[in-house]
Amino acid sequence: MIPVLLGLALSISTIVDGTPQAQPLGSDTFARANDARRKHDYATSARLYEEALRQDPGNGKVALALAETLLDMGQGPAAESLLIRLVASLPERPEPRRALALTYLQNGKNSEALVEARRAVLLDPGNLEGHFCLGSALAAAGQLEQAVPELERSVQGSPPDVRALHRLAIVYAALDDPKTSETFQRVLTLDPRNLGARLNWATYLWQIRDFERGNAQMERVLRAAPSNAELRKKYASSLVEQARYSQAAKQWEIVWKGGSRDYDAACSYAAALGASGRVDEAVQVLRTAIQIDSQKLLAHHTLGRLLLIQQ
């Protein structure tokens, strides 16, 4: 699909910005592609955007939507290739530069993202999405203080962009800004199902030793994603740090019974069991860890210590 599109992108000459125009070729296909994308059916929307672009090779709006869909699908390199050519075809348009900046960020090219984001803001300084791109690029480059005013400007819409507000909360947290919790609360008021924001807020609350509120947020995350072993491991590790060993053992037990039975999980589960006084159970789990990998020493050492306790 992509080689054909790269050739088509070279002929693109305009991006439609809402100005009334005659219906272009492929407009019905484009509308169906947009509908599929709204439903998160990215494979269908990408296929339809490609079809619309074949029907109307000069339509930059279609090419841009296709590139953004490829990014939604996790096809960062393909989106990047298409957008580089789109930017070359439309050097004075900010839209493809904003999309390219976000694509560079997803692809781990922070310096390139910063260049494109700055150019996009220069071309369209009033666009809030442009300031989100620039703030995100500055944050990724480690320039957190400089990122704040860009992200603060990007959330001035009504209602504010939840994605931008979440990014701002993350940057505030990294700076230990007192507005952090308030900003996470705004995100979750606008989008209560945003588990990423809830998890990030819980992590921040743990960092500032506000364990009760952090645990409450993490419990809500786990109620929404009960089978996610990695989240439970993260929670269990925090509970150990809080010296809440019985609760940590409970989380590790759920992980263990759910099938995550690798060496590291066994050692962590056993440590929580032992610290909570369930020594016999800890010994059995450690014997399992040794069966998994007899060459590693941690389980041997921990088992020896617990056997001494039992005497």
Return the exposure string of 114-141: e unless at least 16 CB atoms fall within 10 Å of the residue's CB, then b. Answer: bbbbbbbbebbeebbbbbbbbbbbbbbe
Report the distance separating Cα 269 and Cα 249, nearest Å: 6
Which residue stretches of the chain have pLDDT < 50?
1-14, 16-23
The per-residue pLDDT for 206 is 98
The per-residue pLDDT for 6 is 41
C-beta of residue 127 within 8 angstroms of C-beta of residue 159:
no
The per-residue pLDDT for 26 is 55
The per-residue pLDDT for 309 is 80
Q: How many CB atoms lie within 10 A of CB 243?
A: 9
C-beta of residue 289 within 8 angstroms of C-beta of residue 270:
yes
Q: How many CB atoms lie within 10 A of CB 286?
A: 27
What is the C-alpha radius of gyration for the chain, rounded to an integer number of angstroms? 25
Question: Which amino acid is located at 245 in the chain?
Answer: Y
Q: How many CB atoms lie within 10 A of CB 99?
A: 25
Written as one string, the DSSP assignment of the chain is -HHHHHHHHTT--B---S---PPPTTHHHHHHHHHHHHTT-HHHHHHHHHHHHHH-TTBHHHHHHHHHHHHHTT-HHHHHHHHHHHHHH-TT-HHHHHHHHHHHHHTT-HHHHHHHHHHHHHH-TT-HHHHHHHHHHHHHTT-HHHHHHHHHHHT-SSS--HHHHHHHHHHHHHTT-TTHHHHHHHHHHH-TT-HHHHHHHHHHHHHTT-HHHHHHHHHHHHHHSTT-HHHHHHHHHHHHHTT-HHHHHHHHHHHHHTT---HHHHHHHHHHHHHTT-HHHHHHHHHHHHHH-TT-SHHHHHHHHHHHHH-
| 245-311 and 1-90 share a CATH fold | yes
C-beta of residue 112 within 8 angstroms of C-beta of residue 77:
no
Query: What is the pTM for the complete model shown?
Result: 0.84
Please enumerate in sequence order all residues whose Cβ is within 8 A of that of 115, keeping only pairs 6 or more positions apart, or say none: none
> In this structure, which CATH number among 3.40.50, 2.40.10, 1.10.3470, 1.25.40 belongs to the domain 1-90?
1.25.40
The per-residue pLDDT for 13 is 44
The per-residue pLDDT for 59 is 87
Question: Which amino acid is located at 143 in the chain?
Answer: Q
Q: How many CB atoms lie within 10 A of CB 15?
A: 18
Distance between alpha carbon 159 and the CA centroid of its chain, in Å? Answer: 21
The per-residue pLDDT for 5 is 45
The string of pLDDT tens digits covering residues 198-253 is 999 999 999 999 999 999 999 999 999 999 999 999 999 999 999 999 999 999 99
User: Of all residues in the chain, what percent carry a pLDDT higher than 90?
Assistant: 87
**245-311 domain in CATH 1.25.40.10?**
yes
Report the distance separating Cα 82 and Cα 67, nearest Å: 6
Query: Rounded mean pLDDT of the chain?
Result: 91
Domain ranges of the chain: 1-90, 245-311
